Structure 1
Amino acid sequence: MLWIRMGVRELIKNRGFALFFILNLSLGLAGFIAIHSFGRSLDRHMDENLKEILTADLVISSNRALIPEDLALVDKVFENNKTLARLVSFYTMVKAGPNARLVKVMAIDTAYPLYGDFSLEKQTLKASIQNSPGVFMTRDTAYALGIRDKTDENTPFKLGDKMFMVHDYFVTDPDKSLTAVELAPKIYMGIEQLEGTGLIRFGSRIRYSRFYRFGRDADVPLLAQTLRQEFARAHPGQPMVNVHDSRDINQRLGRLTGYFTGYMGLVSVVTLFLAGIATAYLFRGYLNLKQREIAILMSIGARHREIYLYISFQLFVLGTLASVLAIFVSLFLVPAFPVIFQGLIPDKVRLATDFNTILLALGLGMTGSLIFCLPVFVRIFGVKPLMLLGGTHMTATKNSVNLLLRIASVLPGLAAFLLISVFAAGSVKNGSIFVVGFVLALAFLSALGRLLFSGCKHLSNTRYPMVKIAFRNLFRNKWASLSCFVTIAMGAFLISLIPQVQKGLQNEIVRPEGLKIPVFFLVDIQDEQKMPFMEFIRNQDAKLVNLSPMVRGRILTKNQESFYGETRPSGSGYRGRGRRLEFNFSYRPDLDVSETIVQGLPLSKIPWEFESQTPFEVSVENSFARRYDIEIGDLLGFEIQGIPLQGRVKNLRKVRWNSFLPNFFLLFQDGVLNAAPKTFLAAVSQVPPAKRQDLKNKIVDVFPNVSVIDVTQMATTLLDITDKLSLSIRFMAWLAIAAGLVSIFSIARHQARKNENQINLLKVLGSDFKAIQAITLLEFGFIGFTAALFAILLSYVFSWAVSWYFFDSLWKVNLILSFLILVLTTCICMGAGFAASRKVMNSKPVKLLTNAE
């Protein structure tokens, strides 16, 4: 109790320092809580968006109805905490009077959809299509069937062997995934009304889907992976059942949300390290200030354990108060983000402070001191009290402290950093990589700083007195200068990591320059209709873009080995699934604006000769190549409409899927598919809203076989999500920069306060205010500028490595923000030094001499 009472009295006596310590630490922790909570809230928001697109948490689909053994396996994995909805989908012809049309039938039960809903013109109950033969369709589909006004609405139409009526028209429907090319418009009917249609029979191409919704605490990715493994064991070989979760609904969105999750982890770890750096620096400074007191206590017989308890109790109290203050601030700050940063945060995001993050911040403040002060205590206890009382520097000799003990004292801090980083990054692997990178950067900057301040001796050889004094001070106090340099440099390094990664992700998310988002997607344009259709569109107030031939085919072999088999293992970053064999192939003379070659050479413009013994050239989409282990030079065997062909991979191509244009995984050299029976896909853009319905009707009248799919709803939904991602990535980058600059200010201010005695000495010796001010500004400006400059340059290397490893090389230098960080860091350091010198100059010399050591 004696040591605790002494600790409390000491904190009360030094309440100015205690308040400064608490405020600085609480700001760092509050920034960490706010950023991590914002990231978690936004991640939940994006997850809800993806679930609404999928209409469920998880979907099981197959080309056959699930047998009882399959259903038992599903129940075994999912247990009882689930809600089920069913969907049966297939393509068929529907006939109304003299008009016939290919449609995609969506036979649903009453529970569908589990997320989202229909927007029906007449607000008809969904149960109506279950109780009687009726459907929901769009006005466009009804128009194509000849149902064009109210007098036609009671016209029955034939679906298989059964007559149906239109019960309502949907403006929007729940299914927005667009996982594949839609060949026809959708109509919704009750699943019970399939009986009597005669549409489901042997040989029919039917898709059976079961949608599941789970409780809030369910680990959906784990359930999906477990179920895939169970089905793989139950059905060896090519799997008959596919399992999808919200990450699989759209290739581009799944990849972007994966990027965002990794980015969120990176920002969280960066802000955590920034708080940790500032905290450790303040701990070290506090213990250095206490070294004389510790020496006195050791001289009068105090044991090391008692001294450790005495100091640790003070740090524990300070850390606890800082944590509580940070939590209190974050509870008000996070919900206030939408108001404070109106226009910078996506709408409808429910922001809430993350409880686990609060516990982590509380633990970091309360117990972090007990861990991070260990190396300094070991150094202190290795020095004799008389050395400390005599003013000798605290650095211990090699013989005073056992080297192994000193190394061991650092390990708890590193272990704590590793565990917290794993929590923030959400992965043991990612957290470990961040910590290793942090240690390497720290070692590099430490070595660089040591060389820099050793070289200050040469820089002081000048005829300008103020420059001479400034650089001699830096050289004579090189250990203190090095400490400040490394801490500020690490802060600037971590801050500068974010903008480079942010810039790369931003470029991936934003729409390609010059791209016009299409309004309609056109399917099934026949070869003989190509020229008439192009002429037709030229006479309309619209633009036809990316008219692309499409030929269906199979991949049989890769390098003379069967292409059939499993995809890359789950550890490679892709989920293990059976390979598809059938794909859509195309060709085009030039790449689209949404495509870029990332490896290899462009396809030859010389048409391939069909009788040639040389394999034709193939361009493969980059993510497709990685999923199936395809590399440049690989020989692929194809079967196209019964004809075996061989092609060699010439390049890998990146596709910007946010173009919403017809794009393909594989493009062939000109001359391969030209003579093959094919259909064309196309998109129509730049259609004024007032003329869209009229244009759709004209296309249906002139080209009745062509399916016109309005993609504005789907494009709006997906672009809304990507816009939110873009906005949030930018917002989190600025939050991280702000938190980092606060930490740099705290470090610079603390270092400036330590230099008060040096400034005081110059004043007593007769230096005027301008001279002292110039010396101080030069010292702190040199430290801040060099620390920020080398940190930013180092961050380019590390951010490129991070982008290459985590974000598919989405990296681009953000020079504007780099320059801003350089200027702000320098100004903050100079401002802190200026404030310290001004405070000293405004104090009486007698008081300053009394406080001098």
Structure 2
Amino acid sequence: GLLLANVAQMDAGNQPNMILYGIEKDQLPELRKLTQSQYQMPVIQQVPIVTMRITGWQGKTKAEWLQDSTRKAQSWAYNREIRTTFRDTLDQFEEVLRGTFPKRRADHGDSIFISLDEGFAEAMNLDLGDEVTFNVQGMPLTTYVGSIRKIDFTKMRTRFFVLFPSGVLENAPQFNVLVTKSSDPEQTMAYRTAVVRAFPNVSVVDLSSILSALSDILAKVSYVIQFMAVFSLLTGLIVLISSLLLSKFQRIRESVLLRTLGASSRQLLQISLTEYFLLGSLAAATGILIALISSWALTSYELELDFYVPWSALLGIFVFIVALVIGIGWVNSREVLRKSPLEVLRREV
């Protein structure tokens, strides 16, 4: 259920499928009007982007760190071009894990506190309060880590390892990105043509075909997950039923002994149903516990997904297994309850 839920969330039908980038600031009003008014398409996201590079961190320059054999920062993090944006709010797919965002400045001379993605912060071996120096297209800029964020990368949105507060990068050289969605291929083609004609410098990336292929793959993954779950459940039930049937003769001998000692049919039925109830409960609880531990480990450490417990589905499985075991136990006990001990022994021996 957990994997199927994540597959459903990543389905292409729920995702934006067009990205426009290289937009100049003065082109935004006209482009938004073209998108929303003329083509009735939503502006899902529109953000300014500023490019920069890391030149130092934790009080040392990048060159000094490269000579330091004890450095823990990973090269992919400090060698890449950083594309960042600036805002004072988090979107619905971001969450502050530690620190505060935004940390506003009282004036332009105050320290600048940035927010880092948790994975990027780990790769750079940075924590709250650490100094990070950037080269913003020729201009040095010293900042400090003010917060660590968790980002949901399964959504088709622009995502930033480094996030600046407002009031710092507004005057830096920048371009804008606009994210939208079109559900009609003909509308998509017409919109692309109109954008290219009106704004030759703007690039339009149509992700429809890619997301469609991704959606088909995820649908097949969903089918495989369901098949394996049903197959595993049926295999376990067959093993459980087989073990109960193999122990049938032992149960009959125990019931005959109790009948011989004077136990009534009602007492035998209560004993039998209680025994099978406890057996079914133990089997179901053990299986569910193992499944939960395995799912938690897989989703948390391997797939890096949010883990949750589908209580309603687990309750249904628990009740079904217990009811099945009790039913098999009742079938096994019918002969003993309806016939005399001697007759049962003659038939079974």
Determine if the alignment matches structure 1 residue 548 to structure 2 residue 47.
Answer: yes
Task: Identify which of 5, 9, 21 aligns with 1:511.
Answer: 9
Structure 2 residue matching 1:611: 3-state secondary structure: coil
Task: Identify which of 20, 23, 36 aligns with 1:522.
Answer: 20
Structure 1 residue matching 2:9: 3-state secondary structure: coil
The TM-score normalised by the length of structure 2 is 0.82
Distance 1:544 1:803, change over 3 A: closer
- The size of the alignment, in residue pairs, is 341
1:425-456: per-residue Cα shift (whole Å, max 9, x none)? xxxxxxxxxxxxxxxxxxxxxxxxxxxxxxxx
Following the alignment from structure 2 to structure 1, what is the Cα–Cα distance between the partners of residues 291 and 77? Answer: 40
Structure 2 residue matching 1:755: 3-state secondary structure: helix
Query: What letter corresponds to residue 660 of structure 1 in structure 2?
Result: M
Does the Cα contact within 8 Å between 1:608 and 1:616 map onto a contact in 2? no
Equivalent residue number for residue 703 of structure 1: 199
Following the alignment from structure 1 to structure 2, what is the Cα–Cα distance between the partners of residues 754 and 576? Answer: 67
1:245-302: per-residue Cα shift (whole Å, max 9, x none)? xxxxxxxxxxxxxxxxxxxxxxxxxxxxxxxxxxxxxxxxxxxxxxxxxxxxxxxxxx
Query: What letter corresponds to residue 84 of structure 2 in structure 1?
Result: F
Task: Identify which of 217, 221, 237 aligns with 1:725.
Answer: 221
1:127-178: per-residue Cα shift (whole Å, max 9, x none)? xxxxxxxxxxxxxxxxxxxxxxxxxxxxxxxxxxxxxxxxxxxxxxxxxxxx
Does the Cα contact within 8 Å between 1:615 and 1:646 map onto a contact in 2? yes
* Residues 23-422 of structure 1 aligned to structure 2 (within 5 Å): none
Query: What letter corresponds to residue 616 of structure 1 in structure 2?
Result: F
Determine if the alignment matches structure 1 residue 587 to structure 2 residue 83.
Answer: no
Does the Cα contact within 8 Å between 1:637 and 1:646 map onto a contact in 2? yes
Determine if the alignment matches structure 1 residue 531 to structure 2 residue 29.
Answer: yes
Query: What letter corresponds to residue 618 of structure 1 in structure 2?
Result: S
1:54-103: per-residue Cα shift (whole Å, max 9, x none)? xxxxxxxxxxxxxxxxxxxxxxxxxxxxxxxxxxxxxxxxxxxxxxxxxx
Stretches of structure 2 that go unaligned for 5 or more consecutive residues are 67-71
Equivalent residue number for residue 664 of structure 1: 160
Query: What letter corresponds to residue 685 of structure 1 in structure 2?
Result: K
Q: Alpha-carbon deviation of 1:828?
A: 2.5
Q: Alpha-carbon deviation of 1:646?
A: 2.5
Query: What letter corresponds to residue 548 of structure 1 in structure 2?
Result: V
Equivalent residue number for residue 69 of structure 2: none
Does the Cα contact within 8 Å between 1:784 and 1:830 map onto a contact in 2? yes
Equivalent residue number for residue 625 of structure 1: 121
Q: Alpha-carbon deviation of 1:602?
A: 5.0
Following the alignment from structure 2 to structure 1, what is the Cα–Cα distance between the partners of residues 271 and 7? Answer: 48
Q: Alpha-carbon deviation of 1:634?
A: 3.4
Following the alignment from structure 2 to structure 1, what is the Cα–Cα distance between the partners of residues 56 and 35? Answer: 41
Does the Cα contact within 8 Å between 1:661 and 1:682 map onto a contact in 2? no
Q: Alpha-carbon deviation of 1:516?
A: 4.5
Following the alignment from structure 1 to structure 2, what is the Cα–Cα distance between the partners of residues 578 and 602? Answer: 23
Following the alignment from structure 1 to structure 2, what is the Cα–Cα distance between the partners of residues 787 and 685? Answer: 49
Following the alignment from structure 1 to structure 2, what is the Cα–Cα distance between the partners of residues 563 and 789? Answer: 55
Distance 1:701 1:606, change over 3 A: same
Determine if the alignment matches structure 1 residue 635 to structure 2 residue 131.
Answer: yes
Structure 2 residue matching 1:674: 3-state secondary structure: coil
Two-structure CA RMSD over aligned residues (Å) = 3.4
Does the Cα contact within 8 Å between 1:752 and 1:832 map onto a contact in 2? no
1:106-132: per-residue Cα shift (whole Å, max 9, x none)? xxxxxxxxxxxxxxxxxxxxxxxxxxx
Distance 1:679 1:510, change over 3 A: same
1:305-355: per-residue Cα shift (whole Å, max 9, x none)? xxxxxxxxxxxxxxxxxxxxxxxxxxxxxxxxxxxxxxxxxxxxxxxxxxx
Structure 2 residue matching 1:619: 3-state secondary structure: strand
Distance 1:677 1:652, change over 3 A: same
Distance 1:726 1:657, change over 3 A: farther
Equivalent residue number for residue 373 of structure 1: none
Following the alignment from structure 1 to structure 2, what is the Cα–Cα distance between the partners of residues 598 and 507? Answer: 24
Following the alignment from structure 2 to structure 1, what is the Cα–Cα distance between the partners of residues 192 and 305? Answer: 41
Does the Cα contact within 8 Å between 2:128 and 2:145 map onto a contact in 1? yes
Distance 1:848 1:579, change over 3 A: same
Does the Cα contact within 8 Å between 1:662 and 1:682 map onto a contact in 2? no
Distance 1:534 1:642, change over 3 A: same
Does the Cα contact within 8 Å between 1:607 and 1:669 map onto a contact in 2? no
Query: What letter corresponds to residue 139 of structure 2 in structure 1?
Result: I
Q: Alpha-carbon deviation of 1:839?
A: 3.8
Task: Identify which of 642, 650, 661 aligns with 2:146.
Answer: 650
Task: Identify which of 171, 180, 186 aligns with 1:684.
Answer: 180
Following the alignment from structure 2 to structure 1, what is the Cα–Cα distance between the partners of residues 177 and 317? Answer: 48
Task: Identify which of 743, 762, 766 aligns with 2:239.
Answer: 743
Distance 1:578 1:659, change over 3 A: closer
Q: Alpha-carbon deviation of 1:608?
A: 7.2
Task: Identify which of 255, 273, 276 aligns with 1:777.
Answer: 273
Q: Alpha-carbon deviation of 1:576?
A: 8.3
Following the alignment from structure 1 to structure 2, what is the Cα–Cα distance between the partners of residues 758 and 645? Answer: 83
1:691-710: per-residue Cα shift (whole Å, max 9, x none)? 22222222122222111221
1:551-593: per-residue Cα shift (whole Å, max 9, x none)? 1100122322455779xxxxx9xx9868523121112343334
Following the alignment from structure 1 to structure 2, what is the Cα–Cα distance between the partners of residues 696 and 802? Answer: 42
Structure 2 residue matching 1:744: 3-state secondary structure: helix
Following the alignment from structure 1 to structure 2, what is the Cα–Cα distance between the partners of residues 510 and 725? Answer: 11
Query: What letter corresponds to residue 530 of structure 1 in structure 2?
Result: L
Following the alignment from structure 1 to structure 2, what is the Cα–Cα distance between the partners of residues 526 and 557? Answer: 30
Does the Cα contact within 8 Å between 1:636 and 1:649 map onto a contact in 2? yes
Does the Cα contact within 8 Å between 1:618 and 1:647 map onto a contact in 2? no
Does the Cα contact within 8 Å between 1:632 and 1:649 map onto a contact in 2? yes
Does the Cα contact within 8 Å between 2:252 and 2:336 map onto a contact in 1? yes
1:221-263: per-residue Cα shift (whole Å, max 9, x none)? xxxxxxxxxxxxxxxxxxxxxxxxxxxxxxxxxxxxxxxxxxx
Structure 2 residue matching 1:590: 3-state secondary structure: coil
Determine if the alignment matches structure 1 residue 833 to structure 2 residue 345.
Answer: no
Q: Alpha-carbon deviation of 1:632?
A: 4.1
Distance 1:680 1:825, change over 3 A: same
Does the Cα contact within 8 Å between 1:617 and 1:669 map onto a contact in 2? yes
Q: Alpha-carbon deviation of 1:809?
A: 5.7
Stretches of structure 1 that go unaligned for 5 or more consecutive residues are 1-501, 567-571
Following the alignment from structure 2 to structure 1, what is the Cα–Cα distance between the partners of residues 221 and 306? Answer: 15
Does the Cα contact within 8 Å between 2:335 and 2:344 map onto a contact in 1? no
* Identical pairs, percent: 25
Following the alignment from structure 1 to structure 2, what is the Cα–Cα distance between the partners of residues 735 and 628? Answer: 44
Following the alignment from structure 1 to structure 2, what is the Cα–Cα distance between the partners of residues 632 and 735? Answer: 48
Query: What letter corresponds to residue 638 of structure 1 in structure 2?
Result: F
